[in-house]
Structure 1
Amino acid sequence: MNIEEWFKSITVGESQRSVAEKIGVQQSKLSRQLNAGHLDAEIIRDIARAYGSKAGDELLKTGFLDPDDLTLVGVEEALGMAKNSQLWVEMSKRSDPESRRLYRAEGKPGVIDLDDEVLDEEDAQVFEFPTRNVAPLSDDEIAAAICEANERPQAAHPADDIEYTEPELP
């Protein structure tokens, strides 16, 4: 696609003057470059952003970038861009011994392990956490507990003649 066709398609036929105002360049500069059949990469980037397109896609279409230029970022860079919730989900997958089966990673050591050196599920330690038998309370039980607490505020502290205060700041 030549630059004039690209310009018309992305700006939906808007005038050069209008586009120049949107991206903050002089209309004469934009016109001069279009007439020469070439736009600066910065102008392409700004037009893409102004018209709701991804700059990388438009730089590919106009020949400034090759598909190889848009490979994935490095691991460290990607981790830095990940949200906490995304990191948590990934860490949960890797630390749960059952994850290998649940996420269909059987036979793929190193994908979901507690340690990169652990190659077998049987080698991974599984910690059993104690469970608590907690039953949900009904609205009536909660209301009764609130009433009781309001009627007997001394029930919250034992009668031990100790004055309870806030701890001293360090």
Structure 2
Amino acid sequence: MTLKTSPLILVIGGTGTQGGNVARELLKNGHRVRILTRNPESITAKQMAEAGAEVVKGDMGNLQSLEPAMQGVTAIFSAQYADPNDPSIELRNASNMVQMAQKTGIQQIVHTSVVGSNVFPRWDKYKALVETFDHKYEVEEYIEYTALRSPDNEYLGIIEVTQDITNLRELKDDQRLLSYSSK
């Protein structure tokens, strides 16, 4: 498979730490990468373009702006920002992502979240953190029950990863596993 024929992967959050590391690893391993960003003129977006990524302007809060970014894409890696001032934004953004992914025929979504989003204790003094985790769990459930189903309604699974994704390990049959190291 050449770079020209390799699947196109959209990285949402590709100018951030986790998404940027994933995008660089995908590029390093010969994949075509498209990055969605609100600001293609940012230093990080320009660095990603220099590294070989296609940078496309779009906003997760604007459903129609996602269509150009998702055209021709096979898979999405989503590392969405959680707004501590309004955690509901992440669920809205995930809904937009799933709707447009379905419209454009994207076959796979890998969404990152937090460990324990569904079991975080209800500690009053950590209310903002708990609310953020609750919203992340809502996003996980939404994606799981809408996007991660085959045409026969078969559940396709979730891959859990952590923040410092640094390499891709080869598996059999051209599958890849995202792995991490804690440096």
Normalized per residue, the structure richer in strand is: 2
Q: Which has the larger helix fraction?
A: 1
TM-score (norm 2): 0.18
Compute the TM-score of the two structures, normalised by the length of structure 1. 0.19
Instruction: Pick 1 or 2: higher relative contact order, CA cutoff 8 A, min separation 6.
Output: 2
Computing the radius of gyration from Cα coordinates, the structure with the larger value is 1
